[in-house]
Structure 1
Amino acid sequence: MRRLGTVQQKISCVFRTEVQDKPSGKREAQPFHVAATENLNLSALESDIHSAVATEKLDGTCCYISKYKGKQFLWARLDRKPNKQADKRWKKFQSSQKTSTGFMWNLKEDFKDVPDNWIPAHSVPHIDGCPVPDDHGHILGWVPVEWNSKQYCWHSSVVDYEIELALVLQPDREDEDMLEITCVPLSELQDQTLELIGTNINGNPYGLGSKKQPLHFLVPHGAIHVRDALPVNYTQLHTWLSEADRGKVEGIVWHCNNGALFKLHRHHVNLKWPCGKPFLNTRPVVIRFDGHREQLDGSCQGMFSAFSKLHGQTFQSLEDILFDD
């Protein structure tokens, strides 16, 4: 199987969906709700979904590692959105049609300006050289995170461009029941997508850090596997998500052998998120900075230095990580 987390592509729901006449539980101002049916998506069946690797969907913001100015950089997600006039037409169409398909965009005039160094994601289709928006009216794209960026300061906190390292949360290399916080060379993450989670991201559903001591990590997409080996069945997945301790996750992403990705969000099966203490917070975590501590001695990055001092320590959960003042 190919390495997980190395693509930028649209992810479809693993089940066929239907539009319900009620406000979306996930997207503000969307007057309809997209819910999963009990029938598997035909594309999922064609991609052999039953042999796919099931991984935890994390609630953060998507990032990307790629070259910029000759070096490996972290890129932040920045969707190109409709301008004010186009957004009015878009929302009126959604409200009247109860769907996102069939709307006609003016690809050259309907979207807000973006920075000169913005790039569309690889998966975004183009028509006459112009990127095409998705079903939500956004054009998925990326901007490089400069080391002194104020707008992307939390992104900056998890990379050190001088020593070319990223601060990563992943399953422990020695004990799959544990998590580990470690440093990974940016070169090893090239062309991968990752999720930035932490104190100041998406309302911090994982309860990480505090205002005084914010904590942020990059998690490679596909890194945290769902170990229950669940069958891709609506009833069984709904029961697992609503009742099992391990099911306290935002959702599941399946990685198929042919590279296709499929997801199931709690909102697809009318379940709330956040949903109490997430399963991610129940796993013990170890700090492993072996092999990089000499590099970090001269690092000016606060989070790297702080974690280096905790090297070898184990905590009951991510919530229990504390630094000396």
Structure 2
Amino acid sequence: MPDRKATERKAPARVAVAKTYKLFIGGKFPRSESGRSYPVTGAGGEFLANAAHASRKDLRDAVVAARTAFPGWSGATAYNRGQVLYRVAELMEGRREQFVAEVAASEGLPARAAQATVDTAIDRWVWYAGWTDKIATVLGAANPVAGPYFSFSVPEPTGVVGVLAPRRSSLLGLVSVLAPVLATGCTAVVVSSAERPLPAITLSEVLATSDVPAGVVNLLTGRAAELGPWLAAHGDVNALDPTGADPADRAELARAAAGTVKRVLRVPDEEPDWTRRPDVARLRRYLEVKTVWHPMGG
């Protein structure tokens, strides 16, 4: 009879099954219509997974989903939006260890630094969730006028926002640019960091299992240089955050956006320090102010 222990010793090592992540569009996880994917590697060059390589058609589908979701999300009460966003933070907390592992692998951070980054990202999401029902009070106004009228200035969401996510800060930077979009009542089409997409993909899985309505956030993995011009020129996108674009490409993105009178955020050439305290000014970028006049009396 064969030696059982010898047979066990000779058993081949298990072959790991590489995961291919999909896109997140309209609350679902479709493959790219192009069928393309690309390998994602860690900071040390090790293979981590495969990610879908989004195409122009995928981007158009994402914009349609964001536009469809906009009336419901912008029409929800500010309190309700805050509760929905806070639920996202709760789910992020539940997957904290996965986020830590992915941030550490993607950015080459030691464990303690990755933990601090993830904790700051979750805290930042909570910070913006708390602003949803304060925006109208802080950024709106009852205007003094000379005459028998009331005049009110009311902030309203801009619409669909295209976001080219930061390239280096895979989670904290992404949360810092995405959370204020959602807090103001806008919907988003996000192109994640091509080199470090895994934390963004995990965030999309969190969003899919949260109370955020389908289409409010749509996340594409791919190249900002390829998808950015189409996002900038799309007539149904109302604002563009070009943070993740190469500084040399931003002028061309602004020219493409001018054709549809799109708001383009001004961003520094160098990626900012995302650990710094967030600023209410980022909320203002996604708001339009509507002024209403009404006569006094009957």
Q: Is the TM-score greater than 0.5?
A: no
TM-score (normalised: structure 1): 0.26
TM-score (normalised: structure 2): 0.28
Structure exhibiting the larger radius of gyration computed from Cα positions: 2
Please state which structure has a larger fraction of its residues in helix: 2
Please state which structure has a larger fraction of its residues in strand: 1
